[in-house]
Amino acid sequence: MDAKQPALTEQLNSSNGSLELVLSAVLFGLLGLWIDNKIGTTPVFLLVFTFAGFAGAAVSVYYRYRHDIAQLEAQRDAARSEAAALGNAALDNAALDNAAAADRVGENRV
């Protein structure tokens, strides 16, 4: 059961945007239908609230996507700069090792 739990959680997280789009449109549509039944204007509030729910969810999903992409780009840039720093440090260490080896060879010749 533990193996299925993370997979289910991953699926729910990855489908978060689609659930939000559908559920917000349905819930706002039902709210609009209820208001229409109370007032007596059948399709008006149903359509307005359904569109508003879908549009609001779409904007939310869009901005969440942009935020996630910005975070991933920042992590990528940090990893690249860290790798470059480690690469330079490794090159510096290799140069020092080569210089030390050359000194040892020079000492042996003398």
Q: Band the pLDDT of 109: cuts 50, 70, 90.
A: very low
Task: Fill in the DSSP letter of residue 40.
Answer: T
The pLDDT > 70 percentage for the chain reads 64
**Taking 70 as the threshold, does the pLDDT of residue 2 lie above it?**
no
CA-derived radius of gyration, the chain: 30
Cα separations (Å) of 61 from 33, 37, 70, 92?
A: 25, 31, 14, 46
Read off the tokens for 108: 């042996």
pLDDT at 17: 78
Higher pLDDT, 14 or 106: 14
pLDDT, tens digit, for every residue of 56-71? Answer: 999 998 998 899 899 9
pTM listed for this prediction: 0.62
Q: CA-CA distance, 30 to 79, in Å (whole number)?
A: 47
Residue 84 has pLDDT above 70, yes or no: yes
Q: Domain limits of the chain?
A: 4-109
DSSP string, 29-66: HHHHHHHHHHHT-HHHHHHHHHHHHHHHHHHHHHHHHH
